Structure 1
Amino acid sequence: MHIASGRLRLGTCRSTSKPGAAAPIMPANIAVMHRKPRMASWVVGAAEVATSPDKDVSDSSSSALVIDREAQERRLAERRSYLMRDMCTTLASDLRHMFVSGQLTRAVYDRDILFTDPLTSVRGIDVYAALIGALRAFNTRLDLHTCEVVGEDTVVARWSMDLTAWMLPWAPTITITGTTTYLVDLDSGRVVQHVDTWDAISHQEFISLEGLVHLMRQALQLQLTPRLDSCKYRVLLKTGEYEVRSYTDFLVAATNMGPVSGPASGAGFTALAAYVGGANDTGAQLEMTTPVLTAVAPGQQGACMEFVMEHRYLDVSQLPAPTDGRVALRGVHLGYCAVARFTGWPLDHEVVSAELALRAALVRDGLDPEPGYRLARYATPTSTTPPFLRRNEVIIRLPGFTWPLPTQTR
């Protein structure tokens, strides 16, 4: 008996007894030793054979589960991404049309949607829809600038809104700019929260006294704006001190006011009024427009008065040529501008004070105002309109301003 390769093996038994003698009896313990090693060898071998395939199957199953789970997660992420893109498109469409038609896509809003802004907090789709309908009474106009998905479950829109309080005798226009943040429940695929923030105030939580003052200040503005053709602009951003506007290019008839004339002077008005009244090569009488502009450029001798031409004229060549050599026709490109409103005749010191205050506010807010400015007078220099009813504006170009503003994520 010997052990080979870790297994007990029994060698060949040879009888040492003489022929004819009885074969010796194998002791019981030797027989047991003979069987046990063979049994042990079989058990170990079977275990080795059985264990390896099971381990491979288990590893394969685990890998398959991981791959399947990753695939499911990718499909879920793709479905949610598609849901949010589709939701963004629907919400943008609602914002553009809800104040015109009074309708919204109710299917995308949760039954218990929560709406909040600085002055309002309501819950429920019916109240939410009624609130939108009520705003239509103010001849509301909403200008949607951007609408985009900014997070896994968030859509943010930037807008400007004009509300005309026609029920007041002076029919003031209240302008609000800000953002709407929509929170979407990804399981139901519905908007569960609508939060509006206003650019003009810092305290956004309901109810905001600052927000109420912002509205009341605009509602009580009594300055008159003549119902005349004017240069076109969009209000992009309104703070408590100024507006940022985007002006469409326009044409002007301009004349120099002389080296001793201040920004509030009426010098040059007569020559421009004569051009509009028929002092041109065709004798045509042009329509009066508003405002009367005064351009003040640094280093320039005297300011320059400008009459805005009707917007139906797209090129200087379409305008009749002036017969007065002091009058020139040209195009004006303002682009992005900061504008501050004030009342008064105005006098020179009022104009200068308004310009300095606006420039200081722009620098404080990190904007880069261009040297020089324009004074816009919506009442003519010869008008008898009382000072407190006169609408005046200081306009400063912002050549480095970029739009739209970066969207802030939640």
Structure 2
Amino acid sequence: MQEHVELARADFPLVFKDILDKEHFESRMFFSDPISRYTFFRGYHFNVTFLRLFLAPIFEVHEIRQAGPHELVLKWSWTMNFWWLRFTPFKLVWDPRLTFTGVTILGYHPQTGKWNKQVDAWDSIQDNDFFSFEGAAFVVKQMFQVSKPPNRFTPEFCIMKKLKDWEIRSYKPFVAAQVAGRSEEAAEALLRAYTGGANERRQRLDLTTPLWRNSQGATLLALPGIQDVGSAPAPSDRAVTLQAVPERWYAAWVFTGHPSPADIVGRMESVRVRTRAEGTKPVEGAPWLFARYNDRNWPWGPFRRNEALVQVDPATFDLWRGVDWDFVKRIVKRPV
């Protein structure tokens, strides 16, 4: 079993790369997720190849556990994007990103040791059996999101759990320029001046996204490609300060439009309610963040992307919480 755990760690991060070792799979293989099903490895491999070529998936395995005598269960995150849209006129209004988190029940043949069963279940839906109309609706909803952030650097994060209309993220450390005690408009002007060359080196920095505004009245903008404060050019204006932002976890809700201050506060409270119901605790006293991805006046309405982020305590997050173990047991017992 331990050999297969190590094999799964080695194989499955490579599923969507063109180096998957086909010799590790039985020709007769059962694969199922909420919207597709195959009973032979050729069908499974066709599905994987199609996704790799057209949606450029990023697949990350977080943890692996034993689920049965010849079965494992993997916890993962999975993000896809329509990369080829960048070469079409549609890129101006449509650039969807599909995100899933969930579990894979992975089985192997006891005599050959080769994989012969893979069944995926998503955190975002209740009905994970094929064919799931709930699953299809979730995919369509993500595909037709028209809110589009600019093509700029944004701080790196991993979505640890994707639920129906919100998610839990782990952000990697980054450096930000900050302005406190000013209106958002005035702060944005100072930050744009800093990145435009108003610094000791007269160095122009690429604009990033989003522009963050926290509940304490500070406005922040991440600096691209800068790993520590000492590497960033010092601001010419004392109103602009530099801040090292450590790794943090946030519960996030993506929405569109031009929200009012009252609407933003209401969404933050909704995120807190969802987070507590899921079992992860918000960090008491930590400022919330409103993220605006687009310029102030363009685009309009549903084409704008905003986020409400509430900092959460990663020590209270359980990667396996909410997994339908009855579904896992049923798949373990299912013969191939």
How many pairs are equivalent? 314
1:281 to partner: Cα distance = 2.0
2:310 corresponds, among 391, 396, 404, to 396
In structure 1, what is the Cα distance between the partners aligned to 2:203 and 2:20? 49
1:192 to partner: Cα distance = 3.0
In structure 2, what is the Cα distance between the partners aligned to 1:347 and 1:391? 14
**Contact 1:115 1:128 survives alignment (8 Å):** yes
- Where do 1:140-179 residues align within 5 Å? 140-166=57-83, 169=90, 170-179=94-103
Per-residue CA deviation, residues 141-187 of structure 1 (Å, 9 max, x unaligned), is 21122234343211111111112134552231101111111123323
- Equivalent residue, structure 1, for 2:136: 212
Letter in 1 for 2:304: R
Does residue 1:132 correspond to 2:132, yes or no? no
1:159 match: secondary structure: strand
TM-score by length of 2: 0.87
Per-residue CA deviation, residues 332-382 of structure 1 (Å, 9 max, x unaligned), is 12511111100012321231222121111111112211243101111133x
Does residue 1:369 correspond to 2:282, yes or no? yes
In structure 2, what is the Cα distance between the partners aligned to 1:397 and 1:380? 25
Letter in 2 for 1:391: R
In structure 1, what is the Cα distance between the partners aligned to 2:197 and 2:21? 54
1:317 to partner: Cα distance = 1.5
Does residue 1:117 correspond to 2:33, yes or no? yes
CA 1:334–1:377: 2 relative to 1, 3 Å: farther
**Contact 1:165 1:219 survives alignment (8 Å):** no
1:214 to partner: Cα distance = 0.8
**Contact 1:378 1:390 survives alignment (8 Å):** yes
Letter in 1 for 2:113: G
1:96 match: secondary structure: helix
Letter in 1 for 2:214: A
1:251 match: secondary structure: strand
1:280 match: secondary structure: coil
Letter in 1 for 2:49: G
Segments of 5+ residues of structure 1 without an aligned counterpart are: 1-83, 298-302
Does residue 1:89 correspond to 2:6, yes or no? yes
In structure 1, what is the Cα distance between the partners aligned to 2:306 and 2:95? 18
**Contact 2:67 2:105 survives alignment (8 Å):** no
In structure 2, what is the Cα distance between the partners aligned to 1:277 and 1:171? 28
1:380 corresponds, among 280, 295, 303, to 295
2:265 corresponds, among 332, 352, 365, to 352
1:190 to partner: Cα distance = 3.1
The percent identity for this pair of structures is 26
- Equivalent residue, structure 2, for 1:78: none
Segments of 5+ residues of structure 2 without an aligned counterpart are: 330-336
1:257 to partner: Cα distance = 3.6
**Contact 1:139 1:163 survives alignment (8 Å):** yes
In structure 2, what is the Cα distance between the partners aligned to 1:142 and 1:284? 36
**Contact 1:342 1:354 survives alignment (8 Å):** no
In structure 2, what is the Cα distance between the partners aligned to 1:108 and 1:319? 48
In structure 1, what is the Cα distance between the partners aligned to 2:193 and 2:14? 45
2:158 corresponds, among 234, 237, 246, to 234
Higher relative contact order (CA 8 A, sep 6+): 2
In structure 1, what is the Cα distance between the partners aligned to 2:195 and 2:172? 22
Letter in 2 for 1:253: A
CA 1:107–1:384: 2 relative to 1, 3 Å: closer
2:164 match: secondary structure: coil
In structure 1, what is the Cα distance between the partners aligned to 2:150 and 2:175? 19
- Equivalent residue, structure 2, for 1:4: none
Q: Which has the larger radius of gyration?
A: 1
1:129 match: secondary structure: helix
- Equivalent residue, structure 2, for 1:35: none
In structure 1, what is the Cα distance between the partners aligned to 2:200 and 2:55? 45
